[in-house]
Amino acid sequence: MALWGGRFSQAADVKFKLFNDSLKFDYRLAEQDIIGSIAWSKALLAVNVLTTDEQVSIENSLNELLLSVQANPQQVLQSDAEDIHSWVEGQLINKVGDLGKKLHTGRSRNDQVATDLKLWCKKTAKELIVHLDTLEAKLIELARIHQAVVLPGYTHLQRAQPVTFSHWCLAYLEMLERDHSRLEGCLDRMDTCPLGSGALAGTGYPMDRTALAHSLGFKRATRNSLDSVSDRDHVVELMSCATLSMVHLSRMAEDLIFYNSGESAFIEMSDLVTSGSSLMPQKKNPDAMELIRGKSGRVFGSLAGMLMTLKALPLAYNKDMQEDKEGLFDALDTWGDCLEMAAMALTDLKVNEERTKEAAQGGYSNATELADYLVAKGIPFREAHHIVGVAVVAAIEKGVPLEDLSVAEFKQFSDVIEEDVYPTLTLGATLAARTALGGVSPQQVEFALTAAEERLAKRDTSGVTIRPASSADLESIEFIVNHWAKEGENLPRDKSDLEQSMSEFVVSELDGKITGCGSVHVYDTGLAEIRSLGVAPGFEGRGQGSAIVELLVKRAEKMEIKRLFVLTRMPDFFMNLGFSPESKTTMPEKVLKDCAMFVSQHASDERALELNYKTSMLLHKAMSKG
C-alpha cells in the first residue's frame, strides 16, 4: 500500500506507477533505511511517542530484517512497493502489526531519504578511500622495485628527456593523493544528519537532533530544514571526485596501453588483465586499461546529468531529486571497479628495462644537457639552444646519437666544446643533474619515494573506532556474541554474565554502530584468554577483528600477563597476528573445564594458540600494515 493514498480516490495508472517507483534502484539503501529507522524509534521513545516495550519490539524486528537483507539484498526486488521506505515499513508492519505504523510519526520521506543517501555515501566513500590506498600502495611498491629503471619522458608524444619508471609511478601517485584528499574533504562536509527535518519545516516533536545525529555516526545535525531535504551537494561532490579521479586513471591507462604496444614494448601486462584475439593468435590486448579509459565517459556523463537535474530546482524537495541515485550508484561502482582493476594490473607488471633504456637513449633526449654544458661555458642559453639544434640536425643526418659525434664535429658548432662534454651526455649524468625538489635525480626520487611511503603508513583509513566497552554497549555485545555462538564459533553468554564482564571487553564502532567486540579474561596472575571475539554480520572484512585483538594484546601487556592464549576454529587468523599453535593439554584445567561446559558439534575443531611475547612485535608490524 502507498504511504500517501488517503488523499486519492483512484489508484495510480500502472504505467505511472512504473514510471514513478524507485524500488528497482533505491533497494540498495535498505540497510541504511533500517539503521535510520532504528535510530528514529529511539528518538520517538525519548519524546514519549513510543513506550520502552514498543521501541524494543520495533528495534528487534528491524534488526531481524537487517540481517535478512544483508544475507539477501535482492529479496527487496520481489516486492511491488513504491520505494525502499515503504518496503521497510511494510515488512515491519508484517512483523509487529499496527505498532509498525507508529514509526513514521514526525518523519517525512524527504528527511528519511536524505539521511539514507548520506549514510550510503559515507559508507561507500570510505570503501573508495580503501581502494585508493590500495592503488597508491601498488604504485609505491612498483616505484621501489623499478627505482633505477630509465624511461623516456615525452611531450607531444615525442621523446623529450629521460626520467625513471619510479618517477613515472610517483607522478600518478601525486594525482591519486589529491583524489584521496578531495574524497576525505567531501566526507567531512557531508558528515551532517538531516533526520528530524521533516518534509521541509522540521519535525513537530522536540527531538534532540544532535543526539540523533551522533547515534547514526554523524558529527552533527544539519542546521536548516529547507536545505537539509533539498541538499544534494554531497552527491555532486562525490561524482566530481569520481570524475577527476577517472581522468587520472584514464591517463594512466593510456600511458600503459602505449607502453604495452609493440611499437614501445616497454612493459608486458599480466595475463590476468589482458585478452586475446579471436582471429589473431599472437595478440595480447590490454583490455583492462582500455575499459578504464572507456568507462571514464560514463562517470563524466553521470556528473553532467546530476548537475543538469539540480539546476534551477526550487526549494525544497522535488521529485526530480529521485534522479540522484542511479547515476551516483553507477558512477561510484564504476570508479571503485576501475581503481581495483588498476591495482590488479600493476601487481604483476613486467618492465623491459633494456627496451626502456634503449628508447631513453634515442630521440636526442640529452640535447638539453648539451645546451646546459654550453651555458656553463659562458654561452647565453638562447644561443646555446640554437647551436644544439644545429648539432642535432647534423647527428640525425649522420644517423648517430649526439654522444657519438667527435670533438672535431662538435667544434663545427661551437669552439668551446671539449672532451669534457661526453660525461655530461650520459643517461646517468642527465638524470643526476636534476637535483632540485621534484626532479629525477636518484637522490630526489629516493626522497620522494621515502616520503610517500611515510605518508601512506601514517594514514588511518579504516573508519573504525576501537575503544573500551561501556554499559551502553551491552545489548550490542550480547547480540554479536550469541550470534556467533549459534554458529558454533563462540561460547554462549547470558546478559548477566556479560554485564559482570563488561570491563574485560573492547568494541569496534563504525558510523555510531557497535560492529565488533572481544574480551581478555584473566584467570590468575600471568594468565589470560581472548574470548568472545566477533564482528557483526555484514561488517566483516574491514580489519576490525585484527584491531580488536591488537588492543586486547596491549591490555594484556599492561597487566603484565605472561601467557595469552585463545581457543578458536580460526587458527590462521590468529597465527597471522603472532600466535603460535599449542596443545590443549598445556591449557590450565580451569580453562578446559569452562570449555567443556559448552557442548558443540564444532568443539573438536577448536585449536589452542598462544602469543609468544618475544615475537609480539610481529603483531604490531601486522597491525601497522593492515
What is the number of structural domains in the chain? Answer: 4
CATH number, domain containing residue 378: 1.10.40.30
Asked if residue 136 and residue 20 are part of one domain, the reply reads: no
Residue-level pLDDT at 437: 96
What is the band of 597 on the pLDDT scale with cuts at 50, 70, 90? very low
- List, as one string, the DSSP characters of 508-577: EEETTEEEEEEEEEEEETTEEEEEEEEE-TT--SSSHHHHHHHHHHHHHHHTT-SEEEEEES-HHHHHTT
Q: Residue written as cell 608486458?
A: 268
Of the candidates 9, 156, 471, 604, the residue annotated as catalytic is: 156
Q: Does 544 fall in a domain?
A: yes
Cis upstream peptide for 316 (omega within 30°): yes
Q: Does 559 fall in a domain?
A: yes
Residue-level pLDDT at 609: 83
What is the band of 8 on the pLDDT scale with cuts at 50, 70, 90? low
CATH number, domain containing residue 222: 1.20.200.10
Q: Does 563 fall in a domain?
A: yes
Asked if residue 114 and residue 101 are part of one domain, the reply reads: no
Of the candidates 261, 275, 277, 624, the residue annotated as catalytic is: 277
261 noted as active-site residue: no
Structural domain range at position 385? 367-425
The stretches of 349-424 forming alpha helices (DSSP H) are: 353-361, 367-376, 381-398, 407-411
**CB 119 within 8 Å of CB 36:** yes
User: How far lies 363's CA from each of 69, 153, 383, 565, in Å?
Assistant: 61, 10, 21, 64
Asked if residue 99 and residue 114 are part of one domain, the reply reads: no
Asked if residue 183 and residue 37 are part of one domain, the reply reads: no
Residue-level pLDDT at 460: 59
Q: Does 433 fall in a domain?
A: no
Asked if residue 162 and residue 77 are part of one domain, the reply reads: no
Q: What is the pTM of this model?
A: 0.73
- Note the pLDDT tens digit of each residue in 154-182: 999 998 889 999 999 999 999 999 999 99
CATH number, domain containing residue 46: 1.10.275.10
131 noted as active-site residue: no
- Pick the last residue of a domain from 323, 358, 393: 358
Instruction: Work out the average pLDDT over 108-125.
Output: 95
* Percent of all residues in the chain with a pLDDT value above 90, rounded to a whole number: 62
